[in-house]
Amino acid sequence: MNDAAAQALDTDRIIDITTTGRQSGEPRRIEIWFHRLDGALYITGTPGRPRSWYANLVANPSFTFHLKQSATADLAAIARPVTDPAERTTVFEGILAPLADLTSTPGNEVEAWIADSPLVEVTLSQAE
């Protein structure tokens, strides 16, 4: 990974991901936020309805992590769904702490995220 991509992982928030459709097998690209916590990368969504991107990653964990803000790079990645309640609590408390405005609205409390949001840990391939 080049220096620009490494820096983007430390500072950026918005990416695209390309998953493989769990039923169609076709590539599916969406824009989403990612979070960095204690050196690990995570992707989540707000509490509520099921997400196709999450179902796709559960069925096919390999995907492409597209940097597109301060640097451009397409990085091979693997998703690991975070389902353990204690781990989910630790991760959500950490990634939501700087987003107090978001979690102060009804239905977006940290407890709602822990109970009802998709969450994956991302491992990037060492090759670009």
> pLDDT digits over 68-93, tens only?
999 999 999 999 999 999 999 999 99
The confidence score (pLDDT) of residue 85 equals 95
For 58-69, give one letter per residue: b (16+ CB within 10 A) or e: beebebbbbbee
The backbone torsions φ and ψ at residue 56, rounded to the nearest 5 degrees and listed phi first, read: -65, -40
**pTM score, whole prediction:** 0.91
Closest to 87 (Cα-Cα) out of 124, 49, 40:
40
Number of structural domains the chain divides into: 1
pLDDT digits (tens, 9 = 90+) for 14-39: 999 999 999 999 999 999 999 999 99
Give the whole-number percent of the chain exceeding pLDDT 70.
92
- Could you tell me the two tokens for 41? 């990368």
> In CATH, what number is assigned to the domain containing residue 70?
2.30.110.10
Domain boundaries, position 84: 3-124
Query: What is d(CA 102, CA 85) in angstroms, rounded to the nearest whole number?
Result: 21
